[in-house]
Amino acid sequence: MGNTVPSLFAANVGRDPSLPLLTFYDDATGERIELSGATLANWVAKTANLLVDGCGLGPGDTAGVWLPPHWQTSAVLLGLWSAGVTVAYGEPTAAGTDIEFASLRAIEAGVPTGPTDRFVLGLAPMGLPLREVPAGWADYVISARQHGDHFPGAAVAADTGALLETDGSLDSHAALLERARARAADLGITGGRVLIDADAYPYPLDWLLAPLSVGASVVLSVNTDLSKLPARAGSEQVGVTVGPTL
């Protein structure tokens, strides 16, 4: 499966790019969107090309990410790691980074802004762009779509910085994947289809990297109506449910 996040992701996609890799539910809006490995890889490549060709970033640079669990968040995170950019996820380390990605709600709440490159995500159903973009920010959806569907790769090694924790510690790609595999074991994720209630498990290590580390396909649920989880698990052919129903 590799010892970097991009090699892990490529291995997951490569088994069968046509199979669902991430299915997203938002019970507040009624949205359901299913992304095959090929479709998610397309978004990841566009994001990585945006970072490298559009912003001139790569290994050694750091991105502040102020985003909730969402299929677009997975594209941003995997794109950053594919480009070799270190992720600072949320308070307090995401302030003062080289680039920022934030939800509209986070911006309205007062995300600290510093770098020139700042991208806002409206997180609208079907990946629709924003009607109005906050001053000083660019729409991620519009910006990413302007870039190529193939990313040739970056100089990402096992010891490249991957995740800057809120306590200031830095995980390399190899260390982060080791944590992801341990977390998968803790959560009982062994492969197949896994349904994750991201309201209970909002950290990307749990809802994104842990499943990928064991080759699982993710059904991600936000603003979850708990009464719908049993039927959802059945319709999505889920083997494991990770959430408050455990």
- Which domains, from first to last, does the chain contain? 5-242 (3.40.50.12780)
pLDDT in tens, 81-127: 999 999 998 765 555 689 999 999 999 888 777 777 999 999 998 88
Q: How far apart are CA 214 and CA 12, in angstroms?
A: 9
Residue 63 to residues 25, 85, 172, 188, Cα–Cα distance (Å): 26, 7, 15, 31
pTM of the predicted structure, to 2 decimals: 0.96
Strands of 95-225, DSSP E:
99-103, 117-121, 138-139, 161-164, 170-172, 193-197, 217-222
pLDDT tens profile 156-177: 999 999 999 877 889 999 999 9
Quote the CA–CA distance of 39 and 127 in Å, as a whole number: 13
Residue 95 is predicted with a pLDDT of 57
Q: What is the pLDDT of residues 9-30, one digit of tens each?
A: 999 999 999 999 999 999 999 9
